[in-house]
Amino acid sequence: MKIDLNRRILLKGTFATSALGIAIGAGLLTPGQVLAAWPKEAFTAKDIPSALSAIMGADSAEESGDINIKAPDIAENGAVVPVTVSTSMAGVESIAIMAANNPVPLIANFNLKEGAEGFVSTRIKMGKSGDVVAVVKAGGKLYKAGKEVKVTIGGCGG
Amino acid sequence: MASKSIKIRAKMKEDVVTVKALMTHAMETGNRKDSKGETIPAHFIQGVTCTSGSKEILTADWSGGISKNPYISFKYKGASAGDDLTLTWVDNKGNTESATVKVQ
């Protein structure tokens, strides 16, 4: 995979291309609803507070020791950084994963429904070294934790 | 319907089901350029929904910041062996794929 170093050039039009109309026309099953609800604002926000307020309704979160982030200290390849977020909190509603120094910090927001445990694991891209921040919404309140990950090769393209 | 582009497993241990899924997707952010310097258009999974029967267990909103060929794992309670678990994704071009697996 070729990695271009001009990754800082963020194209503002990127997200405008999402083809909602086509999606609906294509006769989707259930995910039509998901797509319609895709929080574009949160996924175009350039910093964590604005992404947070767009997706969680509040721009700050309380530091919490009950959130455990498992991620490598040094990621050799920023294109694939395994991240696991787990929490023992009760009543977890959603878990958001962000990379503080990415062009668009918000990477994913997981809404945990009936029966789901406070645990998600995935692989993310990181443009450069920085904190991986997990924000957990539990009982209507926001809690966060961060972990620094050093990236040797950026993976956000550019 | 089984789908080749999604690999999914749901394994029950005691009363917790651990789901692991791999999807095949380019996950282009729209920020990368090809060798000619032209921008590669964004193409990534925006939404993932996991349901068991009529029950929604997890929904996720993603950006292009999820790695290529995404991996997701989560846990849930309240299932019994043999239950169906369906994972569906939809990307920013409106493509969608879905796979169903039985809880083991």
Confidence of residue A6 (pLDDT cuts 50, 70, 90): low
Pairing verdict, β A62-63 and A141-153: parallel
Are A157 and A4 within 8 A, CB to CB?
Answer: yes
**A89 touching B, CB under 8 A?**
no
For A113, which residue in chain B has the nearest alpha carbon? B57
Of B30, B47, B64, the CB nearest to A31: B47
**A17 touching B, CB under 8 A?**
yes
Q: Would A82 be classed as within a structural domain?
A: yes
End-to-end CA distance of chain A: 13
The ipTM (two decimal places) reads 0.86
3-class DSSP string for B17-50: EEEEEEECCCCECCCCECCCCCECCCECEEEEEE
> Is there a contact between A158 and B32 if contact means CB atoms under 8 Å apart?
yes
Number of domains chain A contains: 1
Confidence of residue A66 (pLDDT cuts 50, 70, 90): confident
> Is there a contact between A110 and B60 if contact means CB atoms under 8 Å apart?
yes
Confidence of residue A39 (pLDDT cuts 50, 70, 90): confident
CATH class belonging to B6-102: mainly beta
The domain spanning residue A83 has which CATH number? 2.60.40.2470
CA distances from A58 to A137, A146, B84 (A): 10, 18, 36
Of B31, B49, B74, the CB nearest to A156: B31
Q: Would A4 be classed as within a structural domain?
A: no
Q: Tell whether the model's pLDDT for residue B9 goes beyond 50.
A: yes
